[in-house]
Structure 1
Amino acid sequence: MKILFLSPYFYPHIGGVEKHAYILASSLMKKGHSVVIITKKHNNKLKSYEEVDALKIYRFNQPKVKYLGLIYTWFWLLLHFNLIYKSDIIHCHDIFVWYLPFRLLLPNKPVFTTFHGWEGIYPIPLKNIIYKKIAAKLSKGTLAIGKYVEKYYKIKVNKISYGAVSTPKVPGSKVRNEIVYVGRLDSDTGLLIFLTVLDLLKKIKDISFSVNFCGDGELKTQCAKYGRVHGFVDPAPYLSKARFCFASGYLSILEAMANKCIILTGYDNDLKKDYYLDTPFSKWINSSNNPEILAKKIIRFYFNTKLTQNAIESGYNWIKGQTWETLLNDYLSLWKKTTAS
């Protein structure tokens, strides 16, 4: 099949959606499919077109002006209409609105959407709910990363997933007092709760924790007071050493579980609570809106080796089934089932 991905960002940009789309596209190529990606430039030094591992990547500069950026995107896609017309499958990663006019122009062209997440604003603005409702209604099939998407956006999807991960071939050597945070350094990720946890841990005598932050954002300067901020980097080297991981999203949770970390998450609204707890892995993560509870859990795991190992192995056994091959088959079955109907 000839498959076209529309994604807000793509390689070499670092993020959960980007990694999801990149590994999925690479897996499709290995199965003999052709994959083209259309995405925004996050850096003007990037080429407008290049091939990476046989993936054909088209990039454009989207004006950062409300509505003008979307109009320009539609115009750019119209100039490259052939990429759409020649594709057997169109798959939008969140940004169905890019494809909206072409859904009307090509009503029989199979188009699908993956809803990767929320916009970080709670309560969710009505317009964001409407956008997802339109995408769900006009897509031939849909996949949501997380069950909470259906509840909070009032839509029904064909398939719910939580992503995928590769387990390390060689397990890392854990450092008992090392903590890593993985995700954006913004207030909607539960980061402020984590910083409060660190304040509480500092008050405990005879224990000193080393903290690494894999991410960037508005709270970067504040985070630098607690540990080393590395920016958006591959968290694998830090996850392999850390005993504890404060994770902000599904990918970071899965990667931490695959690296045998004790996982902590913080929430400050009902959506984020469901995001973490209405999941098949909720029993293997430590989630709360109370920093004192999370701090006590860290200390408990720090001193109780048997409890730590039991918690880690239970999650690790589950994560071994969350492979990229399984995710690929989810996409292939979605496309096959809905295009055949």
Structure 2
Amino acid sequence: MLTERFFPEIGGVEKHSLEISKRIVRDGHKLTIITRKTPKSANKYEKIDGINIVRIAANGYLPTWLNLSKFCMNFSRYDIIHCHDFVTFYWIFPFIFFNRNLYITFHGFERYPIPKIYIILRKIAEIFTKRNICVGRFISSYYKTKPNYITYGGIDLNEKENLITTKSNFNTQNLKKLLFIGRLEKDTGILYYIEALKILKFEYRLNLELDICGEGRLENMIRSYSKKNNLTVNFNGFISNLGKFFEKSGIIFSSSYLSIIESLYRKKLVISVYHNKLKEDYLKLSPFSKYIIVCKNSIEIAESIFNIINNNIIYEEKIEQGYLFAKQHTWNDVYKLYKELWKL
């Protein structure tokens, strides 16, 4: 299995590939991960929970091909080769004729508008792989991909977590504590959420507290803006276990599939924002769109929060339905899709 970044790195693709890997090994299969070497994971070879990991210096395709040449010459001994996203497909492109048992998962999007070159590169990867999984229905619309399966990721369903999530702490006081999950970049909508806090403070006379779990290039800007407007914002960096933050928060700001499903499972109201047509479709074409609140700007976010705090009872059914949806979308269910894809 090839993926640009892998555990201990944090992110959507990293989480997705790790959860599938754990289940592959648990089923008794031998698995090797090829991934990029990073400062957090400098060891070239290591084994974690039965998963063999090979980390390479992937800096440009030619150096990557040279790094992988000896490894790829033995491709024929693998029953399945799975690429996460088209970038890793091109890591092995010169060697694909050694083994045609190639599969791919298409995750996310690069930017909007989508440059045509990315549409072409993805289409070539689709043609040269047997079957594919798309993370989100929007991919088929924007990249003209013909998905064999569509997924949105999943959650871990276990007794400890189940005991926590079945106890809803949805009340007015709890709703005044907000949680943002994601990178501090423009595409996650963080600036809209921060501006909504300002609107709530000065126009609605609501002084709410926001926990930010994530890092990114906009952190200094957000710190300055929050200080200037006397907003209560706590910066926590990237957090691997969000349990305690979920417990004390009533409303979650997130626009990524995994964080949304996790939040629904935790019986939280989710507010997602979009800033272009692609992101709007990314959210609204998802099967859980009816269980979240989708906004197009900071004004709508502020209005939604004000309505939630003042009429929280009418949102309880949405929360319960979202929880029931999330319970039916576990990583075991996602793994079943992969087994069907590979015909295991």
Q: Is the 8 A contact 1:142 1:157 kept in 2?
A: yes
Map 1:179-258 → 2, pairs under 5 A: 179-204=178-203, 207-224=206-223, 225=226, 226=231, 227-234=233-240, 235-258=242-265
**2-structure distance, mates of 1:280, 1:213:** 26
Cα distance per residue 1:70-106 (max 9 Å; x no partner): 1111111112225633211000001321121111x32
Sort the Cα spacing of 1:191 and 1:44 in 2 relative to 1 into closer, same or farther, 3 A: closer
Residue 169 of structure 1 is matched in structure 2 by 162
Q: 1:204 offset after TM fit, Å?
A: 4.7
Query: What secondary structure does 1:6 align onto?
Result: coil
1:21 aligned partner, one-letter code: S
Q: Is the 8 A contact 1:179 1:211 kept in 2?
A: yes
Cα distance per residue 1:222-265 (max 9 Å; x no partner): 23325122222123331232101111211111111111111011
Sort the Cα spacing of 1:281 and 1:205 in 2 relative to 1 into closer, same or farther, 3 A: closer
**2-structure distance, mates of 1:180, 1:44:** 26
- 1:130 aligned onto 2:120: yes
Residue 112 of structure 1 is matched in structure 2 by 103
Cα distance per residue 1:257-310 (max 9 Å; x no partner): 111111011111110000000111111111121322221111111122312322
Residue 62 of structure 2 is matched in structure 1 by 71
Residue 311 of structure 1 is matched in structure 2 by 318
Residue 66 of structure 1 is matched in structure 2 by none
Cα distance per residue 1:282-341 (max 9 Å; x no partner): 11111121322221111111122312322210100111100111101100001118xxxx
Query: What secondary structure does 1:171 align onto?
Result: helix
Q: Is the 8 A contact 1:223 1:229 kept in 2?
A: no
Q: Is the 8 A contact 2:73 2:95 kept in 1?
A: no
Sort the Cα spacing of 1:242 and 1:44 in 2 relative to 1 into closer, same or farther, 3 A: closer
* Structure 2 residue corresponding to 1:259, chosen from 260, 266, 276: 266
Cα distance per residue 1:157-181 (max 9 Å; x no partner): 1111111112423326563311111
Q: Is the 8 A contact 2:182 2:213 kept in 1?
A: yes
- 1:324 aligned onto 2:327: no
Q: 1:195 offset after TM fit, Å?
A: 1.8
Q: 1:115 offset after TM fit, Å?
A: 0.5
Unaligned runs of 5+ in 1: 64-68
**1-structure distance, mates of 2:144, 2:91:** 21
Map 1:126-165 → 2, pairs under 5 A: 126-165=116-155
Query: What secondary structure does 1:331 align onto?
Result: helix
Sort the Cα spacing of 1:286 and 1:44 in 2 relative to 1 into closer, same or farther, 3 A: closer
Sort the Cα spacing of 1:333 and 1:118 in 2 relative to 1 into closer, same or farther, 3 A: same
Residue 98 of structure 1 is matched in structure 2 by 91
For normalisation by structure 1, the TM-score amounts to 0.91
1:85 aligned partner, one-letter code: S
Identity %: 34
Root-mean-square deviation (CA, aligned residues, Å) is 1.7
Q: Is the 8 A contact 2:255 2:283 kept in 1?
A: no
Q: 1:44 offset after TM fit, Å?
A: 6.2
Sort the Cα spacing of 1:82 and 1:50 in 2 relative to 1 into closer, same or farther, 3 A: farther
Query: What secondary structure does 1:216 align onto?
Result: coil
2:201 aligned partner, one-letter code: K
Q: 1:153 offset after TM fit, Å?
A: 0.7
* Structure 2 residue corresponding to 1:89, chosen from 73, 80, 94: 80
**2-structure distance, mates of 1:152, 1:206:** 41
Q: 1:35 offset after TM fit, Å?
A: 1.1
**1-structure distance, mates of 2:129, 2:306:** 48
Residue 296 of structure 2 is matched in structure 1 by 289
2:221 aligned partner, one-letter code: Q
What is the count of residue pairs matched by the alignment?
325
Query: What secondary structure does 2:176 align onto?
Result: strand
Map 1:15-94 → 2, pairs under 5 A: 15-43=11-39, 46-63=42-59, 69-81=60-72, 84-94=75-85
**2-structure distance, mates of 1:233, 1:55:** 23
Unaligned runs of 5+ in 2: none
Q: Is the 8 A contact 1:166 1:258 kept in 2?
A: no
